[in-house]
C-alpha cells in the first residue's frame, strides 16, 4: 500500500494542500495516521479525495457530500469502508515509480530530449515534476521509449505512440470491465454482504484484466511483427532481383 505526505497526496489527486486540509476539517476526509510528527495518508485517502473532488465538480455542496458519505458508511465499520476504498485505489502496477534527473533523461534520449518533448511527456503523465527532478510513474515505459529512440525513432513520435497506446489500452480494458459491470456489479447482494462482495470482485478482477491484456498483446505481436518484418524482407529481396531477372 502506498503512503503519502500531504503534498504528495494533493499532487496525486490533482488538487492543492489547502484543499486537502479543508476537506479534512469539514469531516469529508478521514484523519491521517501519525508517525512521529509526520502525517501519513494511504491509498484509501487518495480514493476518498478523488471521490470528493468528483462530487464537487458535479455541483454537490460539502454538507451533501458528507451526508452521502455518512449514509453509505452507516451500519458498516470504518475498517470495512476503508478496506473497500483501499481495494479500489490499490495500484495495479507491479513496478515502483522512479525519480530521474534531467541529466539522466539526456543520457537516455540524447539530443532528442527537448523542452517541448519534456513538456508533452509531463502533460500526458509519462513524467511528473518533483522539484528539480522528474518522476517516471512507469520506468518500463521510459526504458521502452529509450530503446525505440535508440533504434532511430524520433522521441516526439515515441511520445505520440505512447499516448495512442494508452488510449487503445483504456478502450480495451474498458470493454472488459464493462462486461463485469453489466453481469457482476449489477447482481443483487444483501446490504451486509456488499463490501466483502465488491472487495472480492476487485481482488479477482485485477489479475484477470492484466492476464487478458498481456495475452492479447502477445498474440497480436506474434501476428503483426513477423508480418511487418516479412514485408520488409520481401522488399529487400525485390530490390536485388528485378522482375524477369534470373536468380
- Range in 23-32, 157-166, 214-223 the model is least confident about: 214-223
Which pLDDT belongs to residue 87? 55
Residue 150 shares a structural domain with residue 103: yes
Percent of the chain with pLDDT over 70: 79
For residue 41, the cross-strand partners are 4
Residue 61 shares a structural domain with residue 114: no
Out of 43, 72, 89, a domain closes at 89
Would you say 29 and 20 are in contact if contact means Cβ atoms under 8 Å apart?
A: yes
Residue 201 shares a structural domain with residue 163: no
Domain count, the chain: 3
Which pLDDT belongs to residue 78? 46
Residue 114 shares a structural domain with residue 85: no
Q: Is the residue at 180 inside a domain?
A: no
Out of 67, 89, 111, a domain closes at 89
Residue 78 shares a structural domain with residue 102: no
Which pLDDT belongs to residue 85? 54
Mean of all residue pLDDT scores within the chain: 81
Q: Is the residue at 137 inside a domain?
A: yes
Q: Burial, 43: exposed, middle or buried (Cβ in 10 Å; 0-12, 13-18, 19+)? A: buried
Residue 195 shares a structural domain with residue 162: no
Query: E-strand spans in 52-159?
Result: 98-100, 128-130, 133-136
Out of 43, 67, 89, a domain closes at 89
Residue 197 shares a structural domain with residue 164: no
- Per-residue pLDDT at 244 exceeds 70: no
Would you say 133 and 99 are in contact if contact means Cβ atoms under 8 Å apart?
A: yes
Q: In what order do the strands lie in the sheet with 33-35?
A: 3-4, 38-42, 33-35
- Per-residue pLDDT at 1 exceeds 80: no
pLDDT per position as a tens digit, 185-232: 777 776 666 667 777 777 788 788 888 888 888 888 877 777 666 666
C-alpha–C-alpha distance, residues 4 and 33, integer Å: 10
Q: Is the residue at 173 inside a domain?
A: no
Residue 8 shares a structural domain with residue 84: yes
- Per-residue pLDDT at 17 exceeds 70: yes
Residue 236 or residue 8, greater confidence: 8
- Mean pLDDT on 236-246: 55
- Per-residue pLDDT at 169 exceeds 70: yes
Residue 72 shares a structural domain with residue 121: no
Q: Is the residue at 100 inside a domain?
A: yes
- Mean pLDDT on 227-238: 65
Residue 145 shares a structural domain with residue 76: no
Q: Is the residue at 246 inside a domain?
A: no
pLDDT per position as a tens digit, 105-123: 999 999 999 999 999 999 9
Q: Is the residue at 178 inside a domain?
A: no
**Angle formed by the axes of helices 62-73 and 78-89, to 10°?**
110
Residue 203 shares a structural domain with residue 223: yes
Which pLDDT belongs to residue 230? 64
Q: Is the residue at 57 inside a domain?
A: yes
C-alpha–C-alpha distance, residues 125 and 67, integer Å: 34
pLDDT per position as a tens digit, 36-88: 888 999 887 888 888 888 888 878 888 888 877 776 665 555 445 555 555 55
Q: Give the DSSP letter of residue 112.
A: G
Is pTM beyond 0.85? Reply is no
**Angle formed by the axes of helices 78-89 and 194-240, to 10°?**
0
Q: Is the residue at 161 inside a domain?
A: yes
Residue 17 shares a structural domain with residue 74: yes
State the CATH number of the domain containing residue 9.
Answer: 1.10.1660.10
Residue 41 domain boundaries:
3-89
3-state secondary structure of 244: coil
For residue 136, the cross-strand partners are 98
Would you say 173 and 133 are in contact if contact means Cβ atoms under 8 Å apart?
A: no
Question: What DSSP string describes 203-238?
Answer: HHHHHHHHHHHHHHHHHHHHHHHHHHHHHHHHHHHH
Amino acid at each position: 500500500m502506498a503512503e503519502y505526505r500531504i503534498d504528495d497526496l494533493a499532487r496525486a489527486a490533482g488538487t492543492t494542500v489547502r484543499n486537502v486540509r479543508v476537506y479534512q476539517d469539514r469531516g469529508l476526509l478521514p484523519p491521517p495516521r501519525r508517525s512521529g510528527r509526520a502525517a501519513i495518508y494511504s491509498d484509501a485517502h487518495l480514493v476518498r479525495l478523488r471521490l470528493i473532488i468528483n462530487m464537487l465538480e458535479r455541483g454537490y455542496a460539502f454538507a451533501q457530500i458528507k451526508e452521502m458519505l455518512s449514509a453509505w458508511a452507516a451500519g458498516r465499520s470504518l475498517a470495512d469502508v476503508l478496506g473497500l476504498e483501499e481495494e479500489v485505489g490499490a495500484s495495479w502496477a507491479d513496478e515502483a515509480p522512479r525519480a530521474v534527473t534531467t541529466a539522466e533523461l539526456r543520457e537516455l534520449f540524447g539530443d532528442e530530449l527537448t523542452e517541448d518533448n519534456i513538456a508533452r511527456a509531463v502533460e500526458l503523465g509519462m513524467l511528473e515534476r518533483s522539484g528539480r527532478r522528474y518522476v517516471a510513474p512507469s520506468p518500463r515505459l521510459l526504458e521502452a521509449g529509450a530503446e525505440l529512440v535508440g533504434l532511430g525513432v524520433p522521441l516526439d513520435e515515441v511520445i505520440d505512440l505512447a499516448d495512442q497506446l494508452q488510449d487503445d489500452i483504456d478502450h480495451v480494458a474498458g470493454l472488459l470491465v464493462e462486461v463485469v459491470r453489466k453481469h457482476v456489479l449489477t447482481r443483487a447482494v444483501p446490504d451486509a454482504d456488499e463490501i466483502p462482495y465488491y472487495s472480492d470482485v476487485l481482488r479477482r478482477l485485477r489479475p484477470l484484466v492484466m492476464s487478458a491484456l498481456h495475452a492479447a498483446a502477445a498474440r497480436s505481436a506474434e501476428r503483426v511483427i513477423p508480418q511487418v518484418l516479412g514485408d520488409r524482407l520481401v522488399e529487400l529481396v525485390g530490390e536485388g532481383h528485378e522482375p524477369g531477372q534470373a536468380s
